[in-house]
Amino acid sequence: MDKKDLLKIVGLINLGEKESKKPFSQEDLRLLSIISGHVVIAIENAKLYEGLLEDKTQEVCIAVKLDTPLHFERVDVKMQGRSE
């Protein structure tokens, strides 16, 4: 993975004041960091899947225009960050 990919901003989380009015603890921030990491993985997976669908749609459109039969292979996609 390229260094610039590690610094790419994917989203923003805006935190308000806690109901308890206490400051956020290190544990709160650690949990938020873990959750935000999972959210980034989900967003990136969704983008990859959308790109795959667009590619397949283009393939189908070209095949229809050329009147060419399509032969699809089954592709097993493992989602990053998910356990089986």
How many folded domains does the chain comprise? 1
Chain-centre distance for alpha carbon 46 = 4
Q: Is the pLDDT of residue 84 over 50?
A: no
Whole-number Å distance between alpha carbons of 36 and 80? 15
Q: pLDDT digits over 36-74, tens only?
A: 999 989 999 999 999 988 888 888 888 888 877 766 666
Q: What is the pLDDT of residue 9?
A: 80
Summarize the confidence of residues 10-34 as an average pLDDT: 92
Whole-number Å distance between alpha carbons of 28 and 20? 13
Write the CB contacts of 44 (distance below 8 Å, at least 6 apart in sequence).
10, 80
Enclosing domain of residue 65? 25-71
Q: Is residue 61 part of a domain?
A: yes
Q: Is residue 1 part of a domain?
A: no
Q: Is residue 59 part of a domain?
A: yes
Q: Is residue 4 part of a domain?
A: no
Q: Is residue 56 part of a domain?
A: yes
Prediction pTM value: 0.59
Name the token pair of 25.
Answer: 């603890």
Q: Is residue 80 part of a domain?
A: no
